[in-house]
């Protein structure tokens, strides 16, 4: 009988290939999620994300989370390692320093866009 359990890593890869919006906690995560290191930017990760297995099978534990989201205005999909913060102002400042478009509020389940 085959093992039908899907690993967390495979679940993350499936979400990326399907361009799903998601956040997966690697370490203890706080309320506000800020993209910190970009792993992929493009329109079709299932065809274009060539390092997906290297990146996902060896999750970098110095970050709090990994996540993916699609910008609804451009249909560009992003996969980022993220840091998390409890304070919204600290999260916004770090996001600005890292040229992020938005942060994510896990409690309110909403994206907070940065004003340029």
29-76 tens-digit pLDDT: 899 999 999 999 999 999 999 999 999 999 999 999 999 999 999 999
pLDDT tens for 90-116 read 999 999 999 998 999 999 999 999 986
The three-state DSSP-derived secondary structure of the chain is CCCCCCCHHHHHHHHHHCCCCEEEECCCCCCEEEEEEEEEEECCHHHHCCCHHHHHHCCCCCCCEEEEEEECCCCEEEEEEEEEECCHHHHHHHHHHCCCCEEEECCCCEEEECCC
State the pTM of this model. Answer: 0.86
pLDDT at 50: 95
């Amino acid at each position: 009988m085959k093992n039908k359990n899907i690993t967390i890593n495979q679940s993350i890869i499936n979400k990326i290939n399907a361009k799903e919006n998601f956040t997966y906690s690697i370490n203890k995560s706080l309320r506000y999620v800020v993209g910190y290191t970009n792993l992929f930017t493009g329109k079709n990760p299932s065809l274009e994300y060539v390092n997906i297995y290297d990146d996902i099978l060896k999750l970098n534990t110095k970050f709090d989370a990994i996540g993916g989201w699609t910008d609804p205005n451009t249909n560009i999909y992003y996969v980022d390692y993220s840091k998390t913060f409890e304070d919204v102002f600290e999260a916004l400042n770090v996001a600005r320093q890292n040229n992020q478009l938005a942060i994510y509020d896990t409690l309110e389940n909403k994206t907070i866009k940065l004003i340029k």
